Amino acid sequence: MDLSEYLASAARSIDVMIDRYFVDTTGELNKASAHLLAAGGKRLRPAVVMLAADAVNPGSSSEIMPAALALELTHTFTLIHDDIMDDDSLRRGVPTVHTVWDMPTGILAGDVLYAKAFEFLIRSKATDEAKIRATSMLAVACAELCQGQHMDMSFEKRDDVDEGEYLEMVRKKTGVLYAAAAGIGGILAGGNARQVKALYDYGLNTGMAFQIQDDVIDLITPPEKSGKDRASDLREGKQTLIWIKAKEKGIDLSPYKRDLTDAEIDAVIKKLEDAGVIEDVKGIANRLVATSAKHLALLPPTKERELLREIGEFFVTRSF
């Protein structure tokens, strides 16, 4: 099975659980909680949970599917809340929760999924000791995610963010949830401390690469392909790695604000490509993926380890 087949199959397993536990519900708040979950999504974090489990204990992923779902619930709660904070209107090709309902319902819809994440996590078949460690890892990750989102927003009010700060933000905002996905898969499957650490570090580096590529995609991928508003970071004046690297090359992106035309966005992209900015940024993402592969090498050589490595490669080569 190649990576795309594996990911499609993993996504279907998660979709079945989402349909069963979330979509067939009554009540406006339950519908609001299910809205973004049911809108698709690549279910990458659940796939990482499943592969990590099988990488340390072949065949164990079928026992920990509730934990795989838990990671998707966590990710979705953060998206719902982030969309309110950023007042984004489109996500996964559908209107965001707070625009379909309202801000209060959006906050609560995220809060419901937050609770459900912990509820499902401990429904996995694993030892109680492993479940406690997994719960702790998820809780710590959630607190760090909030710190990452807060840093990300604070960057909008600044024009002097450096690469170190940016990478810290990305580590917290995206890295730690992939780290927790891989680590939790390893913990629940009975992996030893060395294996769990290797998986955690794999996820951390891969997740950071994912976010950096996401920033590239935000800029260069058309909205009909990405399912998001185009070049929202640029229009919001976000200090992404693209911004920081552009500045190093003497390109100031600060004059580009809301209400950019498609032609103006195209011109900015051309300028950044010509100056080698996008290549530089991709180079940083590629090095993170290379680091994540080194951590993976500490695990036994299995098909699942190879798929985890390919996920890292995929993260930095995807265009949406």
Binding region for its own copies (CB under 8 A): 27-29, 81, 84-85, 103-105, 107-108, 111-112, 114-116, 118-119, 122, 127-129, 131-132, 135-136, 138-140, 142-143, 146-147, 149-150, 153-154
Q: Which is nearer to its own copies, 87 or 248 (CB)?
A: 87
Contact 110, 34 (CB under 8 A): no
Please tell me the number of Cα atoms within 13 Å of 100 on its side-chain side: 18
Q: Nearest-CA neighbor of 175 among 184, 165, 167?
A: 167
Q: Which is nearer to its own copies, 8 or 140 (CB)?
A: 140
Structure tokens at 317: 């080569």
Count of residues for the chain?
320
- The CB-of-249 to its own copies minimum distance in angstroms stands at 31
DSSP string for 261-298: -HHHHHHHHHHHHHTTHHHHHHHHHHHHHHHHHHHHTT
- The CB-of-107 to its own copies minimum distance in angstroms stands at 5
Q: Which is nearer to its own copies, 109 or 220 (CB)?
A: 109
- The CB-of-77 to its own copies minimum distance in angstroms stands at 8
Residues with Cβ < 8 Å from 132, sequence gap 6 or more? none
- The CB-of-153 to its own copies minimum distance in angstroms stands at 6
Contact 236, 86 (CB under 8 A): yes
Q: Which is nearer to its own copies, 101 or 202 (CB)?
A: 101
- The CB-of-22 to its own copies minimum distance in angstroms stands at 12
- The CB-of-309 to its own copies minimum distance in angstroms stands at 30
Whole-angstrom Cα distance, residue 174 to residue 186?
19
Element (DSSP H or E) covering residue 205: helix 193-220
Q: Which is nearer to its own copies, 104 or 283 (CB)?
A: 104
Q: Which is nearer to its own copies, 147 or 286 (CB)?
A: 147
